[in-house]
Structure formats: structure tokens, C-alpha cells
Structure 1
Amino acid sequence: MSELMIERAEVFVCAPERPGSTWTPEQPEPCTTHTFLRLTTQEGLVGCAATDSYTSHYPDAVLAETLRDLLPELPGRSAHQRQALWQLLRPKAYARSAQAQALIDVALWDIAAQAAGKPLYQLLGAHRSSIQAYASTPVLASPEAYVDYVEQWMEQGFRALKFHCWCDPRRDRLLLEQVQRAHGDKGLALMLDVEQRYDLEQALEIGQVLETFGYAWFEAPLDDYDLAGYRELSHRLQVPVLAAGNAITDPLLVDYALQRQCWSRVRVDAMTCGGITPALAIMRNAAAHGVLAELQSWGHSLAQAANLHLMLGQANCTYFEQACEYEAFEFATLNPLRADATGHVQAPQRPGLGLEIDWPEIERHALQRLSV
């Protein structure tokens, strides 16, 4: 077995010209930052990862500065030591971004799969080679705009959509009712995401509407930290209830919530929970509890790929999240992930994460660079 010793670690911070839309109505246009990590082994294998962060005014330098403190731990260590490295870097005395740890972990998995000559999902369980995608919408101007948007994405082959909405129960109900009148008989899987903006009473009201209309799930109705509220909501509604999945992300905390039946399904993202290693543990733990784990895949193509491989590897998830504004997330990616004419995303066939990255393009646009 090759040693896969890390020889060099490099970070590139880029702010794309196209920032993408908002997913709540009061949100200003985000300043999106792509942070890339490139690890090179002594054998010449290159593992990579990327994640997005969103700020209001200036590109985000915090993630790169966190990596500045972590990268010296990597040279001379093997990509086979993923679990040990994850435990070593896991915050114990000082809080730091799980996204930084995720970049390292994902790049190590990328190297390991390349060394095995296999697409990553084959190392993660190889449950399937494709998965149905749902179109994840931005906030639109009117109920009629959502009706038209559904039609547009159906024409592209999608049979599932998730609405980011106004987070106002009265307006959101109008949206739901008009979409139901126009498309309720077409066998679509529909979801609603209110980005943690409702209180319990509002969530119960709209949740009952979603039950009546047969929605696939109700996402982020309450603040992620409101586990008591989620537990009550999950027990009182038949529609599956998910948190946003951005706050309760540590495997121990997720297990705590699972044991108390706080959610109908687990919501997690490899890039916010600390990497593929903890995300895989969360998915397996959820399966042991008989609960589906629906992964986010909003963000740069490399972040999408990390989550896609997990979904392909494991059985207890149902949909890949396809952000509608493709190009905003495909910076410097030569073969980005897009659903096919049947609304499915196929497994990349190249070893590792399977994406071809234009590193010269990244280097030309880098606002900040680090290396060890």
C-alpha cells in the first residue's frame, strides 16, 4: 500500500464575479467566497476540496486564516490517517471553523480514492450510481413566478423542487396554494425551506398545509438550536420535518437529537460538519435509528461532489440538492455536476471526487494564497 504522505498543502481564496441570489427576502446579495485546498502527496497525487462562505461586504478571509493554523499538522502525515487526523484537528480547547477541518478531510478522501483508482462513492458504500435531484430555487417575486419556475424545471426533466420563500406564513401559503392548483396533480416531490424564520405556531399552521398537499418535507421551520420546538413539531406533523443542518452538526450533538426524536430526518452537509468522516458517521447513526439523512449540496462544485459521493455511497437519503443557478457554483470546474434529462445526477467516473479543476484559473483569481 502506498504511504500517501502529504508533501505540500496550499490554500487559494477566490471571490467570483457572479455571487448568486439570496435565499431569504431580507438578505442582501451575498459576497460569496470560494476557499480551495490542494494537497499533494510524495507520489504526486493531488487531492482537493472547496467550500463557500457568505459575507455581507468583503470576501471571507477567516477560513483561510483558520487553515493557516491547521496546515502545519499535515506534511509528513498519510492520507490513510483520516480518522486520526480528524480527531487530532477536532476543536477541544479553542473553537474554530468546522469548514476548515472539512476541507482537509475531503481532500484526504479524494487522495485515498485516487490511490485506489476508484470514484469516491465506491469507497463509501457504493449503494447506487445515480440519484434523483431536486431543483433548489432562489426567492422569487410572486406566487405566479413560482408556478412558472416549476414548469421551467419540469421541462428540464426535474420531478422534485424545493422552494426558498418569503418566510411570511400568509404569503408563503398563497405560494403553496397557487403551486398546488397548477401542479398538484403532476406527481412532483415538493419541499419548503423557510430558513429558520417561523415560530412554533406558524410552523404548525404551514406544516398542516404541507401535509394536506403531500409535501416531501418541511425544512428549517424553526431555529436549528430549538430542539424542544423541533421535537414537538415532528411529533405533531405528519410531513417530515428537517432542521437547516448548519448549527447542530457535531456527531455527538446529532446523536443526542436523534435519541430524543427531535427531527423526522437528519439534515447535514459534509462541508459544515467537519468533512466526509463525520458526515458518514452521522448517516450511519441515523440509519441505525431508522431515520433518513438528507444532505445539503448547496455550494461550489467540489462541495457538491463531496456530498454527492456520500449520497451515492449510502442508502438512507433520497435527493441531491441542485442549486438552480448552476454557474454561480461552478467556478474553475471543467466538468461540473448537473442533473441529466431525467432529473438524476450520475456518479462521476474519474477516480476520487471526479471533478476536473482549472488550477491556473484559480491561481489567476486568488485574492489570498497560503502554502506549507
Structure 2
Amino acid sequence: MPVIDRIALHFVNGPLPAPFSPAWVPGPPRRSTLFYLAQFVTDDGIEGWSAFSAGGRERAGIGDAVANLFLGADPTDIGRVRECIHIMGVLGVRNGWLEPAFWDIKGKLAGKPVYELLGGKAVPVTLYASSGEVKDPAARIDEAWARYEEGFRTLKIRVHDFDEAVDIRQVQETARAMEGRMKIAVDCNQAFRLTQNAPGPVWDLARAKRFADACADVGVAWIEEPLFMEWFDDMAALTAYSARVPVSGGELHTAGLPELRHMIEKRCYRIFQPDAMWTGGIAETMEVAALCRQHGLGFTPHTWSNGLGFAVNLQILLGSGFANECPFEYPLSPPGWTVEARDVVLARPWTHERGVLTPPTAPGLGFDIDGEALARHGKCFFRADRKSRHWMPEALKD
């Protein structure tokens, strides 16, 4: 039986080619992409990797817990891995993002992509381009044409203005400009509030209904997270009201399956979009997909994080049986958020051909880490084996 023999935790700070102002974080633009990178190595040298978005150094102290729980453990026993992650949660930090690294090892040991272990098969994946910034109508239409020329046939745009008329104008002018060529979806970014740097608008049910009606008038494909993530009754009411435009969401429900099960049974959304890196890992998100199937709801994971998060959620989509039913999110918002910046430590970025992605066939999660890029943009702050542990706090200094 293989066991985990070595662990390394890295902090990655990848530069962006231009300032990037994500709609969900009002305030100064970002100039880099930050994430934690976990590496688990078995006693026979098989590596498993996973990553999680960072705001700063909030996970700098998890090394001891990771070492205590996983060194010497069987990486193929996903049930035990999940139990250990729940133990970490009791200690105050949710770390479901670590679980995919063990699937990476399990797939490599089996010589199969993770989606095959999940019961899926390789099928071409239709992508939708997912923008990240708020733009005025003219700039948004230019962006839509650029994505159309690249082969995408669906574009998700962002709205986040205090004046709802501004949001509606952007959506309607873009949809009318692209009518018959490209579908437009809209992310309202109301489910969670990251207002530490600047305030943001708060929608109520009445505003969300007016917005849904305005979107329906121009054939919008779906509206995403138009209400706060804990307003379950209002979400269900909006979904029932919005018969012409599906309401979607579910990306950052860190309580995972129990909360999402409640939302599915309540029909808070018609399309669920959990992100495995936040909602508990691959196994838990697959259970969410099964519940969506059982209740006749759509399912397509959220992927806005980094290239590893994209890979994990791609494996889930392919394993879930929904790959032919819902397009898959492809984060792309140049000039700041590019494919190369998103996938900064991957040996090969996740690219597409005219809006379609060919599934990976390599064992595990389907990517390789670029060691030179990791050395250039990342710093190891904790390393352990079954005999010793080494903290490198200087790696986390500015």
C-alpha cells in the first residue's frame, strides 16, 4: 500500500500582465494572482497537487495539521482523507481544497484520468468565456466580439453598479449587439461580499426580479448569484418567478454538501455551480452533481481561481455526466487576466480550439507543474517527511 511520505506547501505570487479589477472585489485593481499550492508525495514518488486562492497569508499555519493528519496515510482512501479534512475544519480552517491532490495520486496509481475513476468518459467540452471586470456597454461589446472571433458562443459578463439602470443598459446593449451570434449570461456577484476595500451594491428580491425581467426581454442565457447566498427563501422565490431566464449559483458554499443539498431540495437555483475547491473537494461535489440529476436541475462547476482549480472542476464535469448539457466556465479577461497568468505554474496552460476544450487523457488531474515557473513565482514555506519538519517563515515575507 502506498503512503504519503513527503509534503510541501508553497505560496505562489504570479504577476498579471496588466492591472485587473475583479467585479466581486470593489476597490484597487489586482496586480498578481495569489494562491497556496500543496504537494503530496508517496513513498514510491507519485506526486499529487492541489491549490487554493489566497488573499494573503491566512493559511500560513496549516503545515503542522497537514503533516499530523496525512504523513503515513493511504492516499487512495478518499473517505479517510475527507475525515481528516473535517478534523481540520473542527480546528477552525476549512481545507477541502486539499482533497483533489489525493485523487491526483489515485488516478496516477491507476493509470487513469480522475474523470474515469468517477465513471465519466472523454467528450469535447463546450466552454463559455467568463469575463471578470465591469465595463461600459461599448467596451463590453468590443469584448464580446473579441471572444466571438476566438470561437466562443457564450459570454458571461459582470454587473455591479449601485444604479440598476446602468447594469440593465450594459446587459441589454450587449445582448442586442450580439443577437443571433452569441449568448450572453450575467454574473451579478451578490452571493458574497468582499467589501474590505470599497463598498458594493446590495440587491433585494425586488431588484433581482426587475433585473431578471430585463434580461428575459433580450434572451439572456442565465443570471448568476443575484442574491445573498444565505437568503434561501428569496433565492427560491426568484427562481420560481424567473421562468424565462434560469437563475444559477452556488460557488462559495463552504459548508459543502449539507448546505447545497438544502438549496437543491428547496430549488434555490435551476443551475448549480459549486466549486470543488471551496465546497469540500471532488467527492463532495460529485454528490452535489448526483443530487442535481435526481432533482432535474443543471450542473456546471465554477472555475475562477487558477489553473489547478480549473483542472479539478473539469474532471468533475466530465465525471458527472453533465458535460454535454451545460457549457463550462473558461475564465478570460484580458489584458489583466490571461490564460498564461491564470495557469502560471502549469507546464501547459488550458487552451481551447474555437471555444471547445479537448479533455486531458493523462492519469490523475491531467496537468504537470512547471518546476521553473514554481521556483520563479512560488516559495516553499513548509516541508515535512515522516522524520522531520521544516518551517521557512521567511518565504512569506513581502
Report the counterpart of residue 33 of structure 1 in structure 2.
Answer: 34
CA distance in 1, matches of 2:179, 2:63: 47
SS at match of 2:138: helix
Structure 1 residues 17, 202: CA separation in 2 closer, same or farther (over 3 Å shift)? same
CA contact (8 A) 1:224 1:245 kept: no
Task: Name the CA distance, whole Å, in 2 between partners of 1:349 and 1:35.
Answer: 26
Q: Give the drift of 1:61.
A: 1.6
Question: Would the alpha carbon gap of residues 20 and 312 (structure 1) be closer, same or farther in structure 2, given more than 3 Å must change?
Answer: farther
Is residue 347 of structure 2 the alignment partner of residue 337 of structure 1? no
Alpha-carbon displacement from aligned partner over 1:66-95 (angstroms, at most 9, x marks no partner): 344233211111111111220232158736
Following TM superposition, by how much is the alpha carbon of 1:166 offset from its aligned partner in structure 2, in angstroms? 3.0
Cα-to-partner distance string for 1:151-209 (whole Å, 9 max, x where unaligned): 101100101110012344211111122112211122x2321001004221111011012
Q: Is the 8 A contact 1:12 1:363 kept in 2?
A: no
Mapped pair 1:158 → 2:152:
yes
Larger mean CA deviation between 347-356 and 315-324 belongs to 315-324
**Number of residue pairs the alignment of both structures matches:** 361
Query: SS of the counterpart of 2:14?
Result: coil
Equivalence for 2:327: 319
Cα deviation 1:214-234 (Å, max 9, x = unaligned)? 222110101111111101101
Whole-angstrom CA distance in 2 between matches of 1:50 and 1:242: 25
1:369 to 367, 381, 384: 381
Percent of aligned pairs with the same amino acid = 24
Q: TM-score, normalised by structure 2?
A: 0.85
**Is the 1:4–1:78 Cα contact (8 Å) retained in structure 2?**
yes
Rounded Cα–Cα distance in structure 1 between residues aligned with 2:259 and 2:132: 30
Helix, strand or coil at the partner of 1:268: coil
Contact map agreement 1:128 1:312 (CA 8 A) in 2? yes
Where in structure 2 are the equivalents of 1:117-132 lying within 5 Å? 117-132=111-126
1:25 & 1:226 partners in 2: Cα distance? 21
Asked if the contact 1:13–1:36 (Cα under 8 Å) also holds between the matched residues in 2, the reply is yes
Does residue 259 of structure 2 align to residue 253 of structure 1? yes
Question: Does the alignment pair 1:63 with 2:59?
Answer: yes
Which residue identity does 1:10 align to in structure 2? A
SS in 1 for 2:61: helix
Partners of 1:9 and 1:367 lie apart in 2 by: 14
Partner Cα separation in structure 1 for residue 155 and residue 184 of structure 2: 5
Q: Give the Å deviation of 1:24.
A: 4.0
Separation in 2, partners of 1:111, 1:87: 18
Following the alignment from structure 1 to structure 2, what is the Cα–Cα distance between the partners of residues 86 and 222?
A: 30
Deviation, structure 1 residue 242 = 1.7
Q: Which amino acid is 1:338 matched to? A: T
Change (3 A) 1:151 1:320: same
1:182 aligns with 2:177: yes
User: Which residue does the alignment assign to 1:85?
Assistant: 81
Q: C-alpha distance in 1, partners of 2:254/2:174?
A: 32
Deviations 1:299-351 (A, max 9, x none): 2111100000111111235122111132221112121112212x111111211
Instruction: Give the match's secondary structure for 1:15.
Output: strand
SS of aligned partner of 2:127: strand
- Residues 341-352 of structure 1: matches in 2 within 5 Å? 341=354, 343-352=355-364
Query: In 2, distance between residues paired with 1:216 and 1:4?
Result: 47
User: What is the distance in 2 between the residues matched to 1:288 and 1:141?
Assistant: 38
Cα offset, 1:249, TM superposition? 4.4
1:247 Cα offset (Å):
2.9
Q: Give the secondary structure class of the aligned counterpart of 2:300.
A: strand
Which residue in the other structure is 2:214 paired with? 209
Contact kept in structure 1, 2:303 and 2:313, CA below 8 Å: yes
Q: SS in structure 2 opposite 1:102?
A: helix
Q: TM-score, normalised by structure 1?
A: 0.91
C-alpha separation in 2, matches of 1:169 and 1:95? 42
Matched, 1:173 2:168: yes
Q: Against the structure 1 CA distance between its residues 223 and 40, is the aligned structure 2 distance closer, same or farther, given a 3 Å change threshold?
A: same
Most deviating of 243-252 and 134-143: 243-252
Equivalent-residue separation in structure 1 for 2:310 and 2:88 (angstroms): 28
Which residue of 304, 325, 341 corresponds with 1:328? 341
More helix by share: 1
The Cα shift of 1:256 comes to 1.2
Q: Indicate which of 53, 69, 74 corresponds to 2:70.
A: 74
More displaced stretch, 85-94 vs 353-362? 85-94
The whole-number CA distance in structure 2 between the counterparts of 1:165 and 1:291 is 25
Q: How far apart, in 2, do the equivalents of 1:83 and 1:268 lie?
A: 20
CA RMSD of aligned residues (A): 2.0
Contact conserved, 1:136 with 1:321, CA < 8 A, in 2? yes
The answer to whether structure 1 residue 219 and structure 2 residue 213 are counterparts is no
Deviation at 1:361, TM superposition (A): 2.9
The match for 1:354 is 366
